[in-house]
Amino acid sequence: MTALSPSLAPQTRRRLALGSRHALPVALVAVFLLFSALAPGFLSLANLESVLVNNFTLLSIVAIAMTFAIAAGGIDLSIGTAVDFASFSFVTLVLSGQPVPLALAAGLGGGALVGLFNAVLIAGIGISPFLATLGTLFIGRSVQQLLTNGGNPVYLPPAGVPESFRFLGRGTVAGLPVPLLVAGAIILIAGLILSRSRFGRVVSATGTEAEVVRYSGLTLKAHLAGTYVLVALIAAVAGLVLTSTVTVYIPSSGNAFLLNAIGAAFIGTTLHPHGRPNIAGTVLGVLLLSLVANGLLMSGLNFYWQQVGTGLLIFTVLALSFASRKA
């Protein structure tokens, strides 16, 4: 819980190291074995690939973005808004006949805009991230409805769209699906940034000891601002991949990722010796959520029970890891 409450007493912090770290890997293995035994077809190569491509990729990108916000001691509730703005800019430019690379750049720009707005609120004015990004989420929802005549989806007609548009979502390189490669690249780069770069260390320090960062003469505000722009940029990539896959922009659809991204990032903190947000943990957290979603589907469980099952599982992992930290 150090990630959340920097004011914990030192002895409490030392206790955090004990016992809690194994909950996530154990849960992953258990879930994998359970569904291999229960759900026919779960273990097939085709199904496992579908888990990675359909369940894992997009959520992993968004959850990694969220990990940066949480590492910096905050949260980004408007992460879906960045996904949506990227998607909207991308679709609009492609529809107006602009070349795909330009539309992709505009998509990243559209997402980054959301991040800049958050950066001004959080680093500039000093609003708490929860409230600032909640405001952004609400404003973003209205803006999208105004842009789309009250929330109508924007479809890309299959005929009028260049083939390159679908590359990001449906293409393959050396037999591997492009979305998976994009997610892999982002996982690697994000991992390097968060744990090996100077920027990443300052971000983590901001999350644990903001005062110390300030006293050390580091530019706290610039790093905070940079964090929220980076969060939105990574989320924007998810928006581009999503749009390229489904060839439609649906207003405010990015919010669907929000709660799972928060869940995965926080489940991931249980992997770290001091309960800090970390990329490896987030990736395992997303993998756990993806396996559960797919496994419940494959075991032929009623669609509605899947949500109950996912919730129960997250609850159990959280209870196990937090309760053992407390003890």
Q: Tell me the C-alpha distance between 58 and 244, whole Å.
A: 12
Q: Tell me the CA distances in angstroms from 23 to 63, 120, 201, 202, one per residue in order.
A: 19, 38, 26, 28
Token pair belonging to 284: 């395992």
Query: Does the protein bind another protein through residue 309 (CB under 8 A)?
Result: yes
Token pair belonging to 270: 């249980």
Looking at the DSSP bridge assignments, the partners of residue 230 are: none
Rounded to a whole number of angstroms, the distance between the first and last alpha carbons of the chain is 13
Shortest Cβ distance from residue 302 to another protein (Å)?
Answer: 7
Q: How many residues bind another protein (CB under 8 A)?
A: 50
CB 129 within 8 A of CB 262: no
* Helix (H) / strand (E) containing 30: helix 23-38
CB 294 within 8 A of CB 50: yes
Span 235-264, contacts to another protein by CB under 8 A: 259, 262-263
- Annotate each residue in 86-125 with x if it binds another protein (CB under 8 A) or - if it does not, as one string: -----------------------------------x---x
Which of 17/43 has CB closer to another protein? 17
Query: Does the protein bind another protein through residue 127 (CB under 8 A)?
Result: yes
Query: Does the protein bind another protein through residue 218 (CB under 8 A)?
Result: no
* Helix (H) / strand (E) containing 177: strand 176-177
Which of 138/188 has CB closer to another protein? 138
Query: Does the protein bind another protein through residue 310 (CB under 8 A)?
Result: yes
- Annotate each residue in 49-88 with x if it binds another protein (CB under 8 A) or - if it does not, as one string: -------------------------xx-------------
CB 58 within 8 A of CB 179: yes
HSE, side-chain direction, 13 A CA sphere, residue 309: 20
Question: Which of residues 92, 145, 164, 208 is near another protein by CB under 8 A?
Answer: 145
Selected range binding another protein among 27-35, 97-105, 127-135, 196-204, rule: CB under 8 A:
127-135
Shortest Cβ distance from residue 21 to another protein (Å)?
Answer: 16
- Annotate each residue in 167-206 with x if it binds another protein (CB under 8 A) or - if it does not, as one string: ----------------------------------------
Q: Tell me the C-alpha distance between 277 and 296, whole Å.
A: 27
Query: Does the protein bind another protein through residue 215 (CB under 8 A)?
Result: no
Question: Which of residues 40, 126, 153, 300 is near another protein by CB under 8 A?
Answer: 126
Place of tokens 């894992």: 56
Question: Which of residues 19, 25, 135, 171 is near another protein by CB under 8 A?
Answer: 135
Q: Tell me the C-alpha distance between 88 and 284, whole Å.
A: 30
Nearest to 237 by CA among 56, 75, 46, 87: 87
- State whether residue 88 is helix, strand or coil: helix
Shortest Cβ distance from residue 42 to another protein (Å)?
Answer: 20
Residues at the interface with another protein (CB under 8 A)? 1, 4-5, 74-75, 121, 125-128, 130-132, 134-143, 145-146, 150-151, 259, 262-263, 266, 302-312, 314-315, 318-319, 322-323, 325-326
